[in-house]
Chains A and B, each alone.
Chain A
Amino acid sequence: EVQLLESGGGLVQPGGSLRLSCAASGFPFSTYWMHWVRQAPGKGLVWVSRITRDGTSTSYADSVKGRFTISRDNARDTLYLQMNNLSAEDTAVYYCGVAERSSYGADFWGQGTLVTVSS
């Protein structure tokens, strides 16, 4: 059974940093691209970032480019999202997703972790 468990969310002050983790199990993690999306309270889904199987290629939404860094540790079956210089607009539930059937869309999403940016 595919499982994705996000962690690392919480309350952070504007300008602060957080690192999110996504622990994967139930599938060969190193085989698939991975994605992060976010959902602000009461709003829709917004794609944030993606990473290839071996981590050598990454891509970001314009809104987070230069502030967020996606990475993965295939030995630990874990995906990461380093978030720097956070602002209130980054407040959201962050979901990690695995792209099994197609690299350009996720088949399965975790339950998410809430990031709140506030002073």
Chain B
Amino acid sequence: QAALTQPPSASGSPGQSVTISCTGTSSDVGSYKYVFWYQQLPGKAPKLILYEVSKRPSGVPDRFFGSKTGNTASLTVSGLQAEDEADYYCSSYAGSNNLVFGGGTKLTVL
């Protein structure tokens, strides 16, 4: 149950795009469509922004885009806004009814 690998930090200027990676193995990200992405503001609960790799819950802007290639999933935020500054976490089904999270990425809007 090793954690998925995310970069500790990412940044971009308003209006730019930034991509956050989430690297697992063939036992988790590489084998299942159950990759979720969460946004967490300081002191708040995580909020779902993408599920099953690329599906957006209602209310989440289409500036948030998800994809997956092999053992790596990615979250792309386009048209960066100040309100996007937060911690972002990925999670994946890891088989045997277990889940695994990434270590989190702090996104800074410059």
Q: Residues of A with Cβ closer than 8 Å to B? A: 35, 37, 44-47, 50, 57, 59, 61-62, 95, 101-102, 104-112
B100 near A47 with CB under 8 A, answer: yes
Indicate whether A44 sits within 8 Å of B103 (C-beta atoms), given known contacts A59-B97, A61-B98, A107-B57. yes
Measured in the bound complex, the distance between the Cα atoms of B94 and A50 in whole Å is 13
Measured in the bound complex, the distance between the Cα atoms of B91 and A50 in whole Å is 14
Interface segment among B15-23, B32-40, B67-75, B77-85: the answer is B32-40
Contacts of B101 in A (CB 8 A): 37, 44-47
Measured in the bound complex, the distance between the Cα atoms of B91 and A104 in whole Å is 9
What are 17 A-B pairs with beta-carbon distances under 8 A?
A35-B99, A44-B101, A44-B102, A44-B104, A45-B89, A45-B101, A47-B91, A47-B101, A50-B99, A61-B1, A61-B98, A101-B55, A102-B36, A102-B51, A102-B52, A105-B34, A107-B48
In this assembly, does B93 line the interface, its C-beta being within 8 Å of a C-beta of chain A?
A: yes
B57 near A104 with CB under 8 A, answer: no
In this assembly, does B7 line the interface, its C-beta being within 8 Å of a C-beta of chain A?
A: no
A59 near B46 with CB under 8 A, answer: no
Determine the residue in chain B with the shortest Cβ distance to A61. Answer: B1
Q: Residues of B with Cβ closer than 8 Å to A? A: 1, 3, 32, 34, 36, 38, 40, 44-48, 51-52, 55, 57, 87, 89, 91, 93, 96-104
Minimum Cβ distance to chain B for residue A79 (Å): 15
A45 near B104 with CB under 8 A, answer: yes
B96 near A105 with CB under 8 A, answer: no
Indicate whether A47 sits within 8 Å of B99 (C-beta atoms), given known contacts A102-B34, A104-B32, A105-B34. yes
Q: Per a CB cutoff under 8 Å, which of A57, A62, A104 touches B99? A: A104
A95 near B98 with CB under 8 A, answer: no
Contacts of A107 in B (CB 8 A): 48, 51, 57
Determine the residue in chain A with the shortest Cβ distance to B55. Answer: A101
A109 near B45 with CB under 8 A, answer: yes
Minimum Cβ distance to chain B for residue A32 (Å): 14
Which of A47, A50, A62, A108: most chain B CB closer than 10 A? A47
Determine the residue in chain B with the shortest Cβ distance to A101. Answer: B51
Measured in the bound complex, the distance between the Cα atoms of B32 and A104 in whole Å is 10
